[in-house]
Structure 1
Amino acid sequence: MNPYERLPDKAFWRPAIADRSMFQIDELWQPKFALRPKMPVATFGSCFAQHIGKALKARDFNWLITEHSPLGMKPGSAQEFNYEVFSCRTGNIYTTSLLRQWTSWALEGKAPPDECWEASGRYYDPFRPAVERDGFESRDEMEKSRQVAIDAFCECIKRSKCFVFTLGLTESWVNATGGYEYPMCPGTVAGEFDESRHLFENQSFPVIRENLVASIEMMRQVNPDLKFLLTVSPVPLTATCSGKHVLVATTYSKSVLRAVAGDIAAERDFVDYFPSFEIINSPTFRGSFFEPNQRNVTAFGVDFVMSHFFDAFEEKIGKNQKGRARKRQKPAKEKRADEVCEEELLDAFGRRS
């Protein structure tokens, strides 16, 4: 007798993978804790995180929104201005250091850096460069809008029962003088690049882990019962400044992020990891969920991931809620999966043959 003789089919490649259609692969995730329909759930992170919030809403779960669009704004316009893309109007939070930066502003009373980007009489927020497509009318308006988002982020931390965060990038741009981070390289979406002040950093495992742990601990101090659900974006990098081929850079980035998420989830019972990255990127699924550009995830792929997500909660939430969990989100036929993503704008700087 040996330990392998007592293992279930899911522990072996042949019965779990090779002998099945890729659409029959199951038991990929056993949630640590229940996600019940009435539980307020906050969602933040990289571009792919947007789909979790939409899926929660489509299945009548309680997606927590603390910053709503102005009264009368049409849904399409609201999304263009980053309303109800995440739980509040932070824009994409690609790195764990950006998450720590936002958490410090929200919970420790730290004031954001006194920096504003101006172009053609319009004002842009360096920390949310794309939330206003054409910029703000004044610096004052920009600062007030950012403070609203910070206050709303604070409310998300205090009111949510589950905080979902999707890790997206290891590559980052920092202000060398102030020691703070931008979500995008200055001079891409807005602002002007200064090589003496704006430095590229490709973050390592210890740095990413430290920032995520610090963020979690800060949040738990004000909301001791808060649980965390981590995912890793399956979307490859649009561009890399690492000097490596973009394929190699993507593999490094996603591997490190996956390792950090798994490491933290393994040692904390209030932190879980959902394998959206594996579902989309595993060779088992043969690239079936990517658009022809091999980067953007199709609407069908998003729905496939979300189906695994909600199906896994069936045993946790009880039989009376199964129908709600199984309710499928209708994939958008015309829209790509990544709908609001500043990083995609980097594609404009690539040379064309």
Structure 2
Amino acid sequence: MASNPYSDLPAEQFWRKAVANVAPFAVDPRPHGAFTIARTDRVATAGSCFAQRVAQALRSAGFNFHVTEAAPGGLSPAEAEARQFGTYTARYGNLYLTRQFTQLFDRAFGRFEPELTVWERPDGRYVDPFRPTIEPGGFDSPAAVSASREAHLAEVRRMFETLDVFVVTLGLTEGFRYRADGAALPLAPGVAGGSFDPDLYEFVNVGAAEVTADLRGLLDRLWSVNPAARVILTVSPVPLIATYLPQHVMISNTYSKAVLRAAAGEVCAAGDPRLVYFPSFDLITSNVNAGRYYAEDQRSVTDAGVRHVMRCFLATFAPDSARPALASPAGASAAEFEGTAGVICDEEQIERSVA
């Protein structure tokens, strides 16, 4: 029989062999030739709320989850969690737009100082517009917001300079920016502070070219201060909670995830050995799973889904490691744990603000 370009390809490159004849829980589209993560490597995380599930799993698997902005002494574990100490490596909260990543770096290294400095809440308290939910009780003055931000950005700078592995989870293409200087915001003004003024703020829904440029900009910035840093790009499988566009949220979600996935693939296709795409999104959203990795709200990723992702993650980056033990918290029902228990999702403030 005459050969063709597909004749000698491995089984994983054929749907029938790698997917159709494999149990859903055993499908393993891990990347090949990726770098490995040692137990001593400082692993930092940032991104959308799904990144928190990744961070929890990394801790459970025994990785060295890198925290530069630790809780001050005297805080109870519950208070530290509520104030987002240890949620991510530093207390930057959820980073949804790729522009937030590059601007966070530039703010930390003194390259960008946004004109917008503070939002006032209806109760008279103040919040940082770039991380409006990190202090549930707010701040008592703009000066307190500024002091907290200055200390925070110092820890962000230390994070970029000292991390060994950076796990970046991309979440959204929709968001709001401050018109005067393009400062990207995690939430629309008025949701968790401030008020919406269309003369001051603009809605954006970025395309693949801008996301790709932002990702390349982030990598260039990171490697300029930490050349040995390794980066794992993922896309969040958690759908949008709401869309600002006048169309069905499902349409907006498909666009958003397609743009992020395409941009991540394009950036990683350059072949830099310090960079790899990991298929969290692909695993969770695949039709192979028949929706079993989503809870009843069709948005929250179940523990079973996280387990599958982390099995593949460990097989890729720590092949000699044991599987993570992701036991549910004592007393919690399966439904509670499979939802968003312990995960802080700024985007959910949108629903609360219009309820």
Q: Is the 8 A contact 1:313 1:325 kept in 2?
A: no
Does 1:159 pair with 2:156? Answer: no
The 3 A distance-change label for structure 1 pair 18 and 31 is same
Aligned to 1:297: 301
Aligned to 1:49: 51
Does 1:201 pair with 2:198? Answer: no
Range that drifts further, 106-115 or 41-50: 106-115
Deviation sequence 1:95-121 (CA, Å, 0-9, x none): 110001101011244334342112333
After superposition, residues 152-191 of structure 1 pair within 5 angstroms as: 152-191=155-194
Unaligned runs of 5+ in 1: 316-321
After superposition, residues 144-155 of structure 1 pair within 5 angstroms as: 144-155=147-158
Aligned to 2:323: 326
Aligned to 2:82: 80
Q: Is the 8 A contact 2:67 2:90 kept in 1?
A: yes
Does 1:250 pair with 2:247? Answer: no
Range that drifts further, 214-223 or 50-59: 50-59
The 3 A distance-change label for structure 1 pair 275 and 173 is same
Q: CA deviation at 1:314?
A: 4.4
Q: Which amino acid aligns with 1:348?
A: R
Aligned to 1:319: none
Aligned to 1:3: 5
Range that drifts further, 138-147 or 126-135: 138-147
The 3 A distance-change label for structure 1 pair 111 and 314 is closer
Distance 1:49 1:104 in 2: 22
Distance 2:317 2:212 in 1: 27
Q: Which amino acid aligns with 2:41?
A: M
The 3 A distance-change label for structure 1 pair 5 and 60 is same
Deviation sequence 1:294-339 (CA, Å, 0-9, x none): 0111122222211211122344xxxxxx2x3423222444332361
Distance 1:118 1:350 in 2: 19
Q: Is the 8 A contact 1:48 1:235 kept in 2?
A: yes
Distance 1:224 1:2 in 2: 42
The 3 A distance-change label for structure 1 pair 107 and 247 is same
Q: How many residues align?
A: 344
The 3 A distance-change label for structure 1 pair 337 and 301 is farther
**CA RMSD between the two structures:** 1.6
Q: Is the 8 A contact 1:311 1:325 kept in 2?
A: no
Q: Which amino acid aligns with 1:92?
A: N
| Residue of structure 2 aligned with 1:286, choices 263, 287, 290 | 290
Q: Is the 8 A contact 1:289 1:300 kept in 2?
A: yes
Q: CA deviation at 1:154?
A: 0.9
Distance 2:262 2:125 in 1: 41
- TM-score by length of structure 1 reads 0.93
SS where residue 6 of structure 2 aligns? helix
Range that drifts further, 77-86 or 113-122: 113-122
Deviation sequence 1:224-244 (CA, Å, 0-9, x none): 111111000000000001222
SS where residue 202 of structure 2 aligns? strand
Q: Which amino acid aligns with 1:51?
A: R
Does 1:306 pair with 2:303? Answer: no
Aligned to 1:318: none
Q: Is the 8 A contact 2:108 2:153 kept in 1?
A: yes
Q: Which amino acid aligns with 1:6?
A: D
Q: Is the 8 A contact 1:175 1:199 kept in 2?
A: yes
Deviation sequence 1:148-201 (CA, Å, 0-9, x none): 221111111110111111000001101112321211000111111112211101
SS where residue 146 of structure 1 aligns? helix
Aligned to 2:350: 346
SS where residue 3 of structure 1 aligns? coil
Aligned to 1:14: 16
The 3 A distance-change label for structure 1 pair 279 and 331 is farther
Distance 1:143 1:180 in 2: 17
Divergent runs of 4+, >6 A: none
Range that drifts further, 49-58 or 217-226: 49-58
Deviation sequence 1:268-302 (CA, Å, 0-9, x none): 33211000001110101111011101011112222
Q: Which amino acid aligns with 2:176?
A: W
SS where residue 31 of structure 2 aligns? coil
Q: Is the 8 A contact 1:31 1:313 kept in 2?
A: no
